[in-house]
Chains A and B, each alone.
Chain A
Amino acid sequence: MLPGSRSLEVARVEAVGAYTLLVLRRDGADAGVPGQFFMLQAQPEPADAYLPRALSAAWADEHELAFLLDVRGAGTTALAAAERVSLLGPLGHGFELRDGPAILVGGGIGAAILPWLVRRLPGPVTTLLGFRDQSHAVCAPLIDTDATVVLEPTYVTEPLARLLPAAGSCVYACGPDPMLQAVAALCAEHGTRCQLAMEAAMACGFGACYGCAVRVDGEWKRLCIEGPVLAAERILEPAGA
């Protein structure tokens, strides 16, 4: 039922403004689909980071599996310095890649999972990205050279609101929870189909720890089992709640 762990060699690590690109040699590993996730841990296991980190790939091709990291704590610091990485996955449910025009919305490190969508979506893509400052926005061309980029205090929902309603389009979004709530509400308002990739701290990634509870369908549910990609209406509290 559960995929086995793999140990993959780090091909290269690059600073991308405030973020860090970690590229692994794929070596035949199953990359899954955009939006699924992996549990990654530096090898040898760092003494100060007991748990693996849940990350969705920035992209995969025949030879590489890439992750964009926001290096902040012991786990991501160790990943950025590793020569080998253990990888469990792909886990969870990814994006459903739909025909027709796509609007991609990324906020902060949530933008990390969009490059693969830009490469894989069959229809025309419009990309909207929001970052806290210029150093974080350096990664934008890595995602889409034609992306519209806004910096705080402007929110990425502003350019999105100007695009909607966009008949026949599907919105694909990843970012902090308040952004996702705002995107879900906007799309609901305009009747636009929307898929969201949510983030939560996970200990295991395979339904065992119950740590990654998010509000889905009006209840606390495990993001690793339900998502991480969810239909946007599932995160809006039911009317009257």
Chain B
Amino acid sequence: MPDSPLATSICGIELEHPLVNGSGTLDALAAGTLGLAAFVTKTVTLHPREGNPPVRIGETPSGMVNSIGLANPGLDGFCDRHLPRLAELGVPLIVSVGGWSREEYAIAVARIGAHPAVRAIELNVSCPNVETGCISIGTEAAETRALLERCRGETDRPLLTKLSPSVADVAAIATAAAEGGSDGLVLINTVRGMAIDRATLRPLLGGGGGGLSGPAVKPAALHAIFHARAATDLPVIGMGGVSSAQDCIEFAAAGASVVAVGTALFRDPALAARIVADLPAALAGYGVSTLDDVVDRAHRRLPQALLEVDANG
């Protein structure tokens, strides 16, 4: 495996290739790992959550909105029923954790981090489908820093912080995560969005608003990744509308060393395998053989003045 030009690693986790899934976009126990190099779980919360009432999804131009609401079996149910089976998947396991207080995150991080099969923990501080809790943590730099500091002492596993693009200054949140002890960044979570039911002119989704994903959010993702990476140097798992090998290369150029697929997987479960098959030729088009060769390309020779203008809109 180390001989493959696509083999890579992030935070010490060896990966067969740079394609993983975004949290909440695959149930590997139901569908398998679909050729992904690692499996990222749906976000686990301290208590079980049924999720939001339907309608939960709606198609939108080049994407979809969702309002799932962190449906999950809770920490006990996850550790007792899911984790033993996820440990048998045969790919590195990254568990996503969410909560409504630092304490809730810390309890989950300590317990999940103690399981030998868990290679890293993602702290979801950016779910758009809950009114309080993780979403409000990830919109404030001080809260983000304090959460990381609280969780850092609970595990020796790498902590990855999942960020939202729907904030005023993603670089400030990324910097706060790094200062608090985050080992890596995952971005972007979905963009806050809404669909209106054509017939009733009411919000389509049961939760009112929701999270927008798919190719429609790709530019927002590239922008957030670029600025988070410029601000911190932390390794990035990049996602947001990724649908092709070319997308992977562009996300890498913005700063992602690992790329995640999500919504595009819904319409094509063979997507990861196809991208992995297409990547060598796509990389060869840039005269390189590994994704690492193009990581941060977009950051080269960009005058500082231009960075500031762009960051300030």
Which residues on the A side are within 8 Å of B265 (C-beta)?
204, 208
Whether B270 pairs with A52 at a CB distance below 8 angstroms is: no
Per-residue contact bits, chain B 119-143, to A (CB 8 Å; 1 contact, 0 not): 0000000000000000000000000
What is the interface residue range for chain A against chain B? Answer: 20 to 34
Whether B214 pairs with A50 at a CB distance below 8 angstroms is: yes
Q: Which residue of B lies closest to A204 (CB)?
A: B266
If over half of A's interface residues share one DSSP class (helix, strand or loop), that class is named, otherwise mixed; here it is loop
Flag whether A106 is at the interface (Cβ < 8 A). Answer: no
Which residues on the B side are within 8 Å of A1 (C-beta)?
30-32
Flag whether B24 is at the interface (Cβ < 8 A). Answer: yes
Flag whether B263 is at the interface (Cβ < 8 A). Answer: yes
- Give B33-62 interface residues, CB cut-off 8 Å to A: 34, 42, 50-51, 53-62
- Give A16-55 interface residues, CB cut-off 8 Å to B: 39, 41, 45, 48-52
If over half of B's interface residues share one DSSP class (helix, strand or loop), that class is named, otherwise mixed; here it is loop
Chain A nearest CB from B203 CB (Å) reads 15
Whether A203 pairs with B57 at a CB distance below 8 angstroms is: yes
- Give A163-222 interface residues, CB cut-off 8 Å to B: 200-204, 206-214, 219-220
Check A208/B27 contact, CB under 8 A, given A5-B269, A41-B267, A213-B56. Answer: yes
Whether A208 pairs with B31 at a CB distance below 8 angstroms is: yes
Whether B266 pairs with A209 at a CB distance below 8 angstroms is: yes
Whether A5 pairs with B268 at a CB distance below 8 angstroms is: yes
A26 to B143, CA, bound (A): 56
Flag whether B68 is at the interface (Cβ < 8 A). Answer: yes
A88 to B31, CA, bound (A): 13
Chain B nearest CB from A241 CB (Å) reads 13
Whether A50 pairs with B59 at a CB distance below 8 angstroms is: yes
Flag whether A75 is at the interface (Cβ < 8 A). Answer: yes
Q: Which residue of B lies closest to A53 (CB)?
A: B59
Flag whether A239 is at the interface (Cβ < 8 A). Answer: no
The contact of A219 among B27, B30, B50, B267, by CB within 8 Å, is B50
Number of interface residues of B (CB under 8 A): 35
Per-residue contact bits, chain B 61-74, to A (CB 8 Å; 1 contact, 0 not): 11110101001000
Which residues on the B side are within 8 Å of A210 (C-beta)?
24, 42, 51, 56, 68, 71
- Give A83-107 interface residues, CB cut-off 8 Å to B: 88
Chain A nearest CB from B297 CB (Å) reads 29
The contact of A203 among B50, B64, B71, by CB within 8 Å, is B64
A81 to B146, CA, bound (A): 55
Check A225/B30 contact, CB under 8 A, given A75-B59, A210-B56, A211-B66. Answer: yes
Flag whether B239 is at the interface (Cβ < 8 A). Answer: no
A50 to B218, CA, bound (A): 15
Q: Which residue of A lies closest to B72 (CB)?
A: A210
- Give B248-291 interface residues, CB cut-off 8 Å to A: 263, 265-270
Whether A208 pairs with B266 at a CB distance below 8 angstroms is: yes
Which residues on the B side are within 8 Å of A208 (C-beta)?
25-27, 30-31, 265-266
Counting chain B CB atoms within 10 Å of each CB, the highest count among A50, A75, A214 belongs to A50
Binding site for A on B (CB under 8 A): 24-27, 30-32, 34, 42, 50-51, 53-64, 66, 68, 71, 214-215, 263, 265-270
Give me the 4 closest cross-chain CB pairs, A-B, nearest first: A207-B30, A211-B57, A204-B266, A1-B32
User: Can you name 20 extra interface pairs (CB under 8 A) apart from A209-B25, A210-B68?
Assistant: A2-B32, A2-B269, A4-B270, A39-B267, A50-B59, A51-B266, A52-B267, A201-B54, A201-B55, A201-B56, A203-B64, A204-B269, A206-B269, A208-B26, A208-B27, A210-B24, A211-B56, A211-B68, A212-B57, A220-B50
